[in-house]
Amino acid sequence: MKLPVMVAAMLGVGLLAPAQNPPIRVLASRGVQAVIEELRPQAEQAAGSKTMIQYSSSTDLKARIEGGEPFDVAIVTTELMDELMKTGRVAAGTRVEVARAGVGVGIRVGAPKPDIKTSDALKQALLKAKAVTYAQDGASRPHVERMFDRMGIKAEMAKKTLLEVGSVRSTARVADGSADLVLTLISEILPVKGIELLGPLPPEHQNYVAFAAAVGAKAQDAASAKKLIASLTKPDVLMSVLKAKGMEPVK
């Protein structure tokens, strides 16, 4: 028995536990939540620290970061990451591409499933829906509304669209029957109980939102933050979960 252990045993006290590293503070887009949560345990082990992750929309995360909220790792849309790099809010040379997700249509489990495989079929499904929903500040909103415009149904859809506001998620509006269809990233549809993926948008209307990770410029432990990102983006590990979570490698 080693001396410190023997002395502790003789005194009837336990050894002091080693000091724990502070948690890695992560700000992440909801679009990558399912993938991050799947890989979180092994990433924490690789980093040697627990994580404290807050998921939100890119619009909200942008405001919080610009407002000075501290973070060690950001996992956000590539557009927002470009801004964070330009303004020096993430450390140079730490950016890593994570994955991308296409836009899909979600429907309440058990509800009739309209055809959305072609542009015309999707247009008819949208016009027949009593209400549709998507996030007010979601990354896919601009594309969805441009699609309505191209289809020539912008005015009609404006009358029946329930935007996600506050804590009421757009997917919840479909689950509770308030809306028939939700249009958002596929990676945000698959994990939600009560709704299912009707399908991706037709190829001519499809759009992808990509995500990237980087270490915060003022990270409290940059080394651990880098290890966390490396584990989350390890190609073989990442590839094993992307498809099931509605995402794919950045092309």
What would the pLDDT profile of 163-222 be if each residue is shown by its tens digit?
866 656 788 889 888 999 999 999 999 999 999 999 999 999 999 999 999 999 999 999
For residues 216-232, average pLDDT: 97
The CA angle 225-230-235, to the nearest 5 degrees, is 160
Residue 1 has pLDDT above 60, yes or no: no
What is the mean predicted confidence (pLDDT) over 99-124? 96
CATH 3.40.50.720, applies to 21-100+210-245 = no
Which pLDDT belongs to residue 16? 45
Q: What is the pLDDT of residue 3?
A: 44
Superfamily for domain range 102-205: Periplasmic binding protein-like II (3.40.190.10)
Structure tokens at 108: 């309440």
User: pTM for the full model?
Assistant: 0.87
CATH 3.40.190.10 placement within the chain: 21-100+210-245, 102-205
Tokens encoding 84: 């964070």
Query: How does the average pLDDT of the chain come out, rounded?
Result: 90
Does 11 score more than 60 pLDDT? Answer: no
Q: Are the C-beta atoms of 107 and 66 separated by less than 8 Å?
A: no
